[in-house]
Structure 1
Amino acid sequence: MLRYLTAGESHGQGLVVIMEGLPAGLEITVEEIQAEMGRRRLGYGRGPRQRFEADELTLIGGVRHGRTLGSPVAIEIKNSEWFRSDKWHDEMSPAPGATKDPLTQVRPGHADLAGMQKYGFTDARDVLERASARETAARVAAGAVAKKLLKALDIEVISHVIQMGDARVPSSAARPTPSELHRVDENQVRCFDADASEAMIAAIKAAAKEGDSLGGVVEVLAFGVPVGLGSHVHWDRKIDAAFAQAVMSIQAVKGVEIGDGFEVAGRRGSAAHDPISWDSDANEYRRGSTLAGGTEGGMTTGELVVVRAAMKPLATLNKPTLETVDTATKESGVSFKERTDVTAVPAMGVVAETMVSLVLATEAQRKFGGDSMDEFVRNAESFSANLS
């Protein structure tokens, strides 16, 4: 079964991700991973930090001559800012010592205060460096590998922004397909709908002018997912629950919806479920809609998987106004400003793709198994050929 673990801090030497359980023979290159990570830096409303936090990626284990070996894959992402900055050399040094400038004005909406209380820290940097969304760079690197594994089964995962602030894509609007992902990524806010995109950009400009921030909603779509990933037997292996946990783990995500989950809660049962029919030409069952998001009873149905993630507005503002307390003096004040963006919703969509891909790859490995790619693909094809 696929497992992965990330390590590293935002302004430290770098990030590392280790992936275990990949079959041998999966073709993967640094360039493929780097291209996926570049997508994480997209989006109107991103700040200058994107110029500083360059992703210098190295495959340091588990891959030989462009193919996985079946052993754990280790990926390192160096932080170029750390290597050229004396400040971060000192602040984030692993050697014994102490900071000259501890951060004690905790920021509302961040992990600062709860983390300091949990671990007994007196410096918020001990918390915020790991709680930072910079950690998602390591996840996206892992996600690039997971996507390559899924591609062998003709599964493709994409995302697009459907809401930014109060600007939203109409429910009747067309969804992008994998062949149209380039159009999404070329859009300034990664929105597939032209009119909604313009409204989103206007909303970002208005928030930026006031030094404020915006949240939004992204929709992740997984095409070609086979029936039967997940389980109706075990509560902790239900696929929709796994999607929810994985996507909710993304920094600043406060809501997850599978299909039209929240909307159908207000409908009667007769209008809340996907009708089933038999397609004699394709020799398969079909659902007539995506209300359930491609899952039933904790398993995938073979239809389009739809997962939506709601991201709150970023809590670090360019014009700090949020009231806080200094943990050293207990005096009231305004939260300090670390480098920030007006919005990170477009980038969050790429991270959400990663988390959905990692869940699907994990469950595909659990379902089909195999020590090599040939065995993995053969098992999946055998399963599909025997469906009725």
Structure 2
Amino acid sequence: MLRYLTAGESHGKALVVIIEGLPAGLPITIEDLDRDLGRRRLGYGRGPRMKFEADEVTILSGVRHGLTLGSPVAIEIGNSEWERKWTEEMSPHPGATSQRLTTPRPGHADLTGMQKYDFDDARNVLERASARETAARVAAGAVAKALLGHLGVAIGSHVVQLGAVRAAAASRPEADALAAVDESEVRCTDPAAEAEMIAAIKAAQKAGDSLGGVVEVLAYGVPIGLGSHVHWDRRLDGRLAQALLSIQAVKGVEIGDGFDVAGRPGSMAHDAITFDEATGAYRRHTTNAGGIEGGMSTGEVIVAHVAMKPLATLNRPVLATVDTATKDATVSFKERTDVTAVPAMGVVAEAMAALVLADEALRKFGGDSLGEFVRNHDTYVAQVREQTARIDTTGGPDDAAPLNWDAQQAFADDAPTTT
């Protein structure tokens, strides 16, 4: 079982993430973490803080000479602005703040957090609610990706909608093209849509506004059978949806064709099953179900769409609110912000998907060392391959031959109706 916990505030001294449940012997380096943390900072429309807020990564525990020890791994991500700007305002020591924030932003955690925790200063809420916390998740996700990589799993994402601009449906990258997505300024593989997205960002920036969008998350090479149908909380699609919805500003998730499938007839909504004699494997050549059926991975690519709302902090404060100190009508305060963070959200979504899949893989295969984990996986894959190749020549229970389609339909028509 893989568990992780993050701590820290947006402008605090550091973020910390502790990861428990990793097998011993997994290669981990700061360069591995820096790679995905750098990707999180990508994207046209990011604010100026991305240029001067460096992620200062330190591995505090659980790794020796580049290999995990099987004990909890602790990672610290330092705030490069702490010493220069925030030591007094975010000090853990007793003292007064220089200025309370009392004009909560609509769409943010500010007001509800102030009410829930009895605060008179929105900064006590926004510092933790900030998407800066996702840097810690991305670091943990990089570790999870490294573990899954030993099973042949590749996870990536790309932007399929930004504002009102949508990418072509055929723009989905294959496993070997995931890395190339980052070459686009908005992480979109459709060049025509990319140009329109950049134009939309420029227009929103000029207007002091923000834009949301949709990212498609892809996981290739996931073993058959992660997750389970036997309990609600072990269904893989449910776990993925919860994890992805937990990302700041995300308001919608669908697995596969999700909401679109709801409007189709059943004959066009499901992924037909075929047997590939060349590979000896069952295949589904469409992704209506997003690679998950009955709460379990099918072995096909897992597909999830993640919808992010426009950011609640605008460069032109116009959102109507109330000053909680005076109860006077006013507009929300301004913090440094992005025009859009949709491209970066894709990297965070990859991390969350990786953490869920790594947890399910550890639940399925176990192992105290990386070698044991991989051997258990390989044994299971061989078992599935053998089970798939097996042909029943006994005629089934009571020597009854399998029903053909017409017989199955007749049986269904004759079945009693229940109310």
TM range (shorter): over 0.9
Q: Which amino acid aligns with 1:40?
A: R
Residue aligning to 2:361: 364
Q: Which moved more, 1:277-286 or 1:152-161?
A: 277-286
Residue aligning to 2:417: none
Partners of 1:335 and 1:366 in 2: CA distance: 46
TM-score normalized with structure 1 length = 0.98
How does 1:159-308 map onto structure 2 within 5 Å? 159-171=157-169, 173-308=170-305
Residue aligning to 1:113: 111
2:253 aligned counterpart, secondary structure? strand
Partners of 1:9 and 1:302 in 2: CA distance: 39
2:263 aligned counterpart, secondary structure? coil
Instruction: Give the one of 126, 129, 133 matched to 2:127.
Output: 129
Note the C-alpha offset of 1:326: 0.5
Partners of 1:273 and 1:93 in 2: CA distance: 55
Q: Which amino acid aligns with 1:63?
A: V
Partners of 1:178 and 1:82 in 2: CA distance: 39
Partners of 1:59 and 1:269 in 2: CA distance: 51
2:82 aligned counterpart, secondary structure? helix
* Deviation >4 Å, runs of 4+: none
Residue aligning to 2:402: none
Partners of 1:147 and 1:329 in 2: CA distance: 49
Q: Which amino acid aligns with 1:307?
A: A
Partners of 1:182 and 1:148 in 2: CA distance: 15
Cα RMSD after superposing both structures: 0.7
1:228 aligned counterpart, secondary structure? coil
* Identical positions, percent: 70
Partners of 2:187 and 2:233 in 1: CA distance: 33
Partners of 1:255 and 1:356 in 2: CA distance: 15
Note the C-alpha offset of 1:284: 0.9
Note the C-alpha offset of 1:246: 0.3
Partners of 2:220 and 2:286 in 1: CA distance: 14
Instruction: Give the one of 94, 97, 100 matched to 1:102.
Output: 100
Where in structure 1 are there 5+ consecutive unaligned residues?
none
Residue aligning to 2:396: none
Note the C-alpha offset of 1:100: 2.2
1:7 aligns with 2:7: yes
The number of residue pairs the alignment matches comes to 385
TM-score normalized with structure 2 length = 0.91
Q: Which amino acid aligns with 2:15?
A: L
How does 1:301-320 map onto structure 2 within 5 Å? 301-320=298-317
Q: Which amino acid aligns with 1:130?
A: R
Q: Which moved more, 1:175-184 or 1:189-198?
A: 175-184
2:376 aligned counterpart, secondary structure? helix
Instruction: Spell out, residue by residue over 1:252-283, the C-alpha distance to the aligned partner (whole angstroms, 9 max, x if none).
Output: 00000100001011000000000001111111
Note the C-alpha offset of 1:187: 0.6
Instruction: Spell out, residue by residue over 1:64-85, the C-alpha distance to the aligned partner (whole angstroms, 9 max, x if none).
Output: 0000000000000000101222
Q: Which amino acid aligns with 1:363?
A: E
Instruction: Spell out, residue by residue over 1:89-140, the C-alpha distance to the aligned partner (whole angstroms, 9 max, x if none).
Output: 1110000112121110111010000000000001000000000000000000
Note the C-alpha offset of 1:5: 0.2
Partners of 2:267 and 2:65 in 1: CA distance: 55
Note the C-alpha offset of 1:168: 0.2
Q: Which amino acid aligns with 2:228?
A: S
Q: Which moved more, 1:200-209 or 1:129-138?
A: 200-209
1:342 aligns with 2:325: no
Point out the structure with max Rg over C-alpha. 2
2:219 aligned counterpart, secondary structure? strand
Note the C-alpha offset of 1:178: 3.3
Partners of 1:257 and 1:164 in 2: CA distance: 17
